[in-house]
């Protein structure tokens, strides 16, 4: 079979797969269905669809073979909400409450007492040291299997304080559509997050359609051991191994993916170097930023924010002509409808 | 990589993907072809095809959904030859010769002098310290892009001392068939090697049909920097970051893949814990070992060997009923025919 024929066959398959995916959603299958219905028409949406058209049109200078269509997404603030606190922190605090019966000493020991008493002042006073103790207590000293189960229990039961919905409901509908649209066009979608890799993997496949092996994140040391039952175990150790944030993101991409993305999306200065690394490759490149401008439907924050600060990356986006999503203006909806 | 090589790579991938889709599709009635023609019929071959049939038959207790069909392969001694020395060491020695004109001091400094003079006695005398110096000189102090090019130059030019063929020709034909067979049955194939991740990634896609993002290996520290030209770079630093060997293999699997394999193949005690970790999961499991028994066609070595020692993993394979390939008996051919 000639290369050209194969290429046409594959494109046909991709198109079929794409329409099948759209059909699986809510929209009736018809020609010219909008793959990004939650994105308002405008320059931002057009920058995405134009880029995808450029790199997927065979025989053009910008064509990129499917194997090289790597797209990376930050998670906190890019695929799901990160306010009023990183959701992984909410998990850690909730976990302290679940674990408390096994730790009677926490009733009188900070920073645990502060969480059990809902004493935010005392919690803040415990500072970085206190946060480290909370992360150690909730993220180490158990097997990877047990930690996975703890995360799944939490995603099933916990509710966001403002929206009163499961945290995994507070993902951005337009970004879900973007992930599906890219995959339908032969892209391989990855998460590259400063969040914990073991915290994301249990639920990202169900929520984003991204399998665990396409998740890059921060991690603690894990140790192989023979368990008491003669079965091998992987124990989570209280030691940071890799911080996948800022300059760590291109490093994490290199380590886990081994290819430079052609498409990357972030929302904060923690994504700055990932966007630089992506944009600096040869050929067509897409670098995008979600700017949180919608205090009514979500949150509004950028330069002075402690969570998800967007400052240097925003300046470079303006200078380099990267795509900056104005959430209020560019997104028709923010979160998926309640089931 | 030349345009022609790129084209062949893409064609290979398209053909592999094509056959995978074909197999996964409607299965038209036609003569049953043997997917593993280089494997002699017998218990070993049957253990592989029986396992694949078990986990891919819908509606049975052992059925495994495609997303969870993770198969991991060691590289040195499992997918390609590792004698009379690890091929990555051959690369390092050859690289010293290529780099020597820029390092006139090497003419008089050990261990470099020993390599340039082909003085094996002096090289051996330099011991682990000397080896460390050679690895540092050849694997650090350059960008990841430059290192990738050095590896590609080497695979194109270097020849194995005994077989006088490119090192990338000395892959095992039966294992190439096994990789293709597994992928055609919905498996995702990964390399999990003690070798350097950046040493494998440039060529494994072309040779094994395994993309860089499905390679787990040992690594050195990499640092994000702004280059003199204002372009971001990833610099390879002379510091070991992760050793993906022995108990490191289940750790590497957890870190990079985030799922436990249901199928794993190794050849030495360096694969022991990967095989244990794989076999200890619930449901149907396959653990396989290549036993090098063929001094005529390849090499014969096991318990006392310094390279690829097979001792404890072999004992456990016997006790647990894992599959042990007798290379001499089970493989019709060892290497692919010369083109």
What mean pLDDT is reported for chain B? 92
Closest Cα of chain B to A211: distance in Å? 8
> How much is the average pLDDT of B32-49?
95
Tokens of B197: 């991740």
pTM of the predicted protein model? 0.90
Nearest Cβ partner of B224 from A1, A224, A273?
A273
**Does the structure show a pLDDT above 90 at A17?**
no
ipTM of predicted assembly, 2 dp: 0.89
Q: B188 and A259 in contact by Cβ < 8 A? A: no
CA distance A259 to A262: 9
A4: how many CB neighbours lie within 10 A of its CB?
Answer: 10
Least confident interval from A6-15, A292-301, B110-119, B154-163: A6-15
pLDDT band, very low/low/confident/very high, at B32 (cuts 50, 70, 90)? low
Task: Give how far Cα A140 sits from Cα of A102, A215, A221, B90, B249, Å.
Answer: 15, 20, 9, 41, 20
Chain centroid to Cα B94, Å, comes to 20
What are A190's two structure tokens?
A: 């990855």
Q: What is the pLDDT of residues A56-105, one digit of tens each?
A: 999 999 999 999 999 999 999 999 999 999 999 999 999 999 999 999 99
B273-331 pLDDT, tens digit per residue, is 999 999 999 999 999 999 999 999 999 999 999 999 999 999 999 999 999 999 999 99
**Are the beta carbons of A205 and B67 closer than 8 angstroms?**
yes
User: DSSP 3-state assignment of B279?
Assistant: helix
Give the pLDDT band of residue A32 (cuts 50, 70, 90). Answer: low
Contacts of B248 in chain A (CB under 8 A): 224
Q: Is A141 on the interface with B (CB under 8 A)?
A: no
Show the 3-state SS of B118-130.
CCHHHHHHCHHHH
A218 touches chain B (CB under 8 A): no
Question: How would residue A221 be classed by pLDDT, with cut points 50, 70 and 90?
Answer: very high
On whether any CB of chain A is under 8 Å from the CB of B258, the answer is: yes
Nearest CA of chain A to the CA of B223: how many Å? 7
pLDDT of residue B16: 38
pLDDT at residue A172 tops 70:
yes
User: How many whole angstroms separate alpha carbon A160 and alpha carbon B42?
Assistant: 59
pLDDT the model gives residue B228: 86
- Tell me the torsion sign for CA atoms B182, B184, B186, B188: positive
Q: Name the minimum distance, in Å, from the CA of B222 to any CA of chain A.
A: 6
Residue contact A276–B11, C-beta within 8 A:
no
State the virtual CA torsion across B142, B145, B150, B154 in degrees, nearest 10: 150
At residue B190, the pLDDT reads 98
Residues comprising chain B, all counted: 339
């Amino acid at each position: 079979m000639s290369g050209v024929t194969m290429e046409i066959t594959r494109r046909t398959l991709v198109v079929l797969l794409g329409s099948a995916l759209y059909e699986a959603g809510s929209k009736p299958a018809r020609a010219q269905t909008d793959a990004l219905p939650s994105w308002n028409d405008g320059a931002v949406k057009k920058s995405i669809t134009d880029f995808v058209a450029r790199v997927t049109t065979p025989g053009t200078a910008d064509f990129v073979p499917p194997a090289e269509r790597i797209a990376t997404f930050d998670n906190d603030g890019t695929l799901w909400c990160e306010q009023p606190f990183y959701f992984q922190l909410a998990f850690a605090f909730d976990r302290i409450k679940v674990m408390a019966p096994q730790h009677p000493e926490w009733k009188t020991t900070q920073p645990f007492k502060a969480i059990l008493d809902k004493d935010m002042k005392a919690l803040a006073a415990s500072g970085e040291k206190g946060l480290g103790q909370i992360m150690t207590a909730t993220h180490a000293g158990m097997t990877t299997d047990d930690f996975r189960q703890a995360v799944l229990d939490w995603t099933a039961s916990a509710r966001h304080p403002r929206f009163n919905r499961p945290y995994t409901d507070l993902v951005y509908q337009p970004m879900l559509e973007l992930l599906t649209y890219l995959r339908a066009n032969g892209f391989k979608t990855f998460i590259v997050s400063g969040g914990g890799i073991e915290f994301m993997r249990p639920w990202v496949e169900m929520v984003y359609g991204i399998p665990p092996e396409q998740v890059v994140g921060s991690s603690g040391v894990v140790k192989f051991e023979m368990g008491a039952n003669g079965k091998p175990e992987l124990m989570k150790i209280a030691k940071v191994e890799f911080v996948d944030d800022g300059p760590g993101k291109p490093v994490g991409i290199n380590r886990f993916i081994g290819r430079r993305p052609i498409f990357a999306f972030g929302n904060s200065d923690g994504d700055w170097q990932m966007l630089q690394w992506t944009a600096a490759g040869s050929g067509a490149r897409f670098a995008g930023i979600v700017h949180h401008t919608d205090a009514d439907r979500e949150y509004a924050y950028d330069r002075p924010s402690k969570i998800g600060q967007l400052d240097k990356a925003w300046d470079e986006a303006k200078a380099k002509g990267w795509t900056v999503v104005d959430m209020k203006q560019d997104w028709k909806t923010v979160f998926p409808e309640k089931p």
